[in-house]
Amino acid sequence: MFYNRDKFLFIYFLYVLKIFKKEGKLNQEEIKKEEEKIEEIEKAKEKIEEVTEEKVEEIKEGEEKIREVKKEEEKIEEKAIVGYKKADVVKRFVAYLIDAILASVVSLIPVVGGLVAGTYMLLRDGFDFMQNRSLGKMAVNLKPIVVETGANCDLQTSIKRNWPFAIGHFLVAIPVIGWIVAILIWIPLLIYVVIEAVLVFTDEKGLRFGDKMAGTQVIEL
């Protein structure tokens, strides 16, 4: 009886030992798989870090290029602002007087005259065939330019700097109603013209409101 019991215990012990060995083998395989997964994750992490570093370098290079471009733009803008001397104020007065007299004479023609005169005063510095300057400026060798680039005035720029001087002529072209409105606003327009004249004399670059709105400056050729 005791023999059978010892035999049974011995067999049971071998069976348990076999199970432990089997479980240990399984555990080792699972550990190995987990280690392989961890290794793959580490490799992926390293690749991500490499890509991230490359992107950071690209961003830094892009930012550096942007800074260089901005510096160049600032140099160009500074050169444009500083590079042009103030035009002679007497010449500017004479140029305006010539343009104003010509427009006033043309305005005497009923309806059409006011339209032609107003259009001339509005666009006088933007016509290519007139070298992008009015007849008055051509007579005294002056020219308005775009300060930022040094380019000639175009029609849009001419409108920005000259529209207050064209309003009165357009109103004259409208019978009765236009004349009444012109009479009502002639004092404000006169005040505006006086202020513009004062700015031409007092501003360091001779910039009037029209020049500041259009980003222009009148220079001597």
Looking at mean pLDDT, say which of 8-17, 72-81, 104-113 comes out highest: 104-113
pTM of the model: 0.61
Query: Counting Cβ atoms within 10 Å, is residue 64 exposed (0-12), middle (13-18) or buried (19+)?
Result: exposed
Q: What integer pLDDT is reported at residue 159 of this predicted model?
A: 96
Beta strands in 64-126 (DSSP E): none
Q: What integer pLDDT is reported at residue 17 of this predicted model?
A: 57
Beta strands in the chain (DSSP E): 142-146, 216-220
- For the CA atoms of the chain, what is the radius of gyration? 43
Q: Which of 24-33, 69-78, 180-189 has the weakest average pLDDT?
A: 24-33
Quick: pLDDT tens for 13-49. Answer: 555 555 555 555 545 665 566 566 667 766 766 777 6
If you average pLDDT over residues 46-67, what whole number do you get?
73
Contact 106, 173 (CB under 8 A): no
Q: Among residues 148, 160, 142, which one has the least CA distance to residue 211?
A: 160
Phi, psi torsion values for 207, nearest 5 degrees: -85, 120
- In percent, the amount of the chain with pLDDT more than 90 equals 46
What's the rounded Cα separation, in Å, for the pair 113 and 130? 20
Q: Which of 68-72, 162-166, 214-218 has the weakest average pLDDT?
A: 68-72
If you average pLDDT over residues 89-107, what whole number do you get?
94
What's the rounded Cα separation, in Å, for the pair 77 and 88? 23
pLDDT of 218 over the 70 cut:
yes
Confidence of residue 65 (pLDDT cuts 50, 70, 90): confident
Residue 48 corresponds to which tokens in the numbers above? Answer: 């991500």
Q: b vs e for 101-125, b when ≥16 Cβ sit within 10 Å of the residue's Cβ?
A: ebbeebbeeeeebbbbbbbbbbbbb
